[in-house]
Amino acid sequence: MSNDHHNEGSRRVGQVKEVTSLSNPIVKDIKALSNKKDREQSGTFMAEGLKLVIDALELGWTIRILAYAKAAKGKPLVEQVAARTIAKGGLVLEVSEKVLSSITRRDNPQMVVGIFEQRWTPLDDLRPSQGVTYVALDRVRDPGNLGTIIRTADAAGASGVILVGECTDPFSLETVRATMGSVFAVPLARATTEEFFAWQKRSGAQVVATHLAGAVDYRTVNYEKKPTVLLMGNEQSGLPEALAKSADRLVRIPQQGRADSLNLAVATAVMLFEARRHLLKLEDAG
């Protein structure tokens, strides 16, 4: 996305650009971020909500564009975020409600949205050490599942999520929404199956894979002795044999009732809170 000064349907007031037209080129560029291809080409994505934008800036994410509703103008926190965006070389837009609804595809949009640069952590930067847990997801398809898993990984104190194979995009609007801001807090890495195998070998971590045919009860594994990678299978087909075989343990969450399996995000949550049970204390909350 360019920071060129497109003037169609816009007016510049100080360093803030007022935009009311849906055909403004910047608005079109922002709307295009609903396509994966455009997100990849621009290396950016959209996050909604003032709190999220503030958190992202606190965590050092690079903001390219801040857009806020006319009604939010003059609010101290919005002004602060706008000043920070300008100081970092970003663009600030004051937009009509109609424009905001259009870029967020919502009838009652948040008052503030930010366009940020995507950030991927190289797999080699994930160095498992004592007390560290990662989640590795094999070909996760559902944006809601991925967002929920990123949020849960954050809440459980995991140190990263590794996307193995062809996965849904963590920077899609739907996934970012489901993360409730945790997309800014949890390192995300991606790998082919081969790259994951190679990393797994040199990482020194134990890989605990979850499988409906797992012979080991997930509660009997010692999660304290080594850093742990929780390996989760695809929603439809589960873990492929090669990934299942490469794991140190193949575990199952015992079930009753008629359900064949747990939802992927639910199974990941169960695993995360078991693997980190010894590290999670009530005093840590808040």
3-state secondary structure of 190: strand
Do the beta carbons of residue 105 and residue 34 sit within 8 Å? Answer: yes
Q: Is 137 in the site for ligand SAM (CB under 6 A)?
A: no
Residue identified by tokens 């991606």 is: 190
Do the beta carbons of residue 155 and residue 133 sit within 8 Å? Answer: no
Sequence-distant (6+) residues with CB within 8 A of 256 are: none
Q: How far is the CB of 91 from ligand SAM (least distance, A)?
A: 41
Could you say which residues in the range 202-261 bind ligand SAM, by CB under 6 A? 210-212, 214, 232-233, 235, 238-239, 252-253, 255, 261
Q: Name 117's bridge partners.
A: 44
- Whole-angstrom CA distances from 32 to 12, 21, 47, 159 are 23, 16, 14, 31
Q: Is the CB of 21 or the CB of 261 nearer to ligand SAM?
A: 261
Residue identified by tokens 């747990």 is: 262
Q: Is 267 in the site for ligand SAM (CB under 6 A)?
A: yes
Q: Is 141 in the site for ligand SAM (CB under 6 A)?
A: no
Q: Is 167 in the site for ligand SAM (CB under 6 A)?
A: no
* Helices and strands (DSSP H and E) totals, the chain: 10, 13
3-state secondary structure of 75: coil
3-state secondary structure of 229: strand
Q: How far is the CB of 193 from ligand SAM (least distance, A)?
A: 15
Residue 181: φ, ψ to 5°: 105, -15
Query: Within 10 A of 97 (CB to CB), how many other CB atoms are there?
Result: 15
Q: How far is the CB of 162 from ligand SAM (least distance, A)?
A: 14
Q: How far is the CB of 255 from ligand SAM (least distance, A)?
A: 5
Q: Name 208's bridge partners.
A: 230, 249
Q: Count interface residues toward ligand SAM (CB under 6 A).
A: 16
Q: Is the CB of 145 or the CB of 182 nearer to ligand SAM?
A: 145
Q: How far is the CB of 283 from ligand SAM (least distance, A)?
A: 31
The interface region with ligand SAM, picked from 23-31, 63-71, 189-197, 262-270 by CB under 6 A, is 262-270
Through-space distance between the first and last CA atoms of the chain, rounded to whole angstroms:
37
Q: Is the CB of 17 or the CB of 151 nearer to ligand SAM?
A: 151
Which helix (H) or strand (E) is 259 found in, with range?
Answer: none
Q: Is 262 in the site for ligand SAM (CB under 6 A)?
A: yes
Q: How far is the CB of 126 from ligand SAM (least distance, A)?
A: 20
Residues 58-97: x/- map of binding to ligand SAM (CB under 6 A)? ----------------------------------------
| Residues forming the site for ligand SAM (CB under 6 A) | 210-212, 214, 232-233, 235, 238-239, 252-253, 255, 261-262, 264, 267
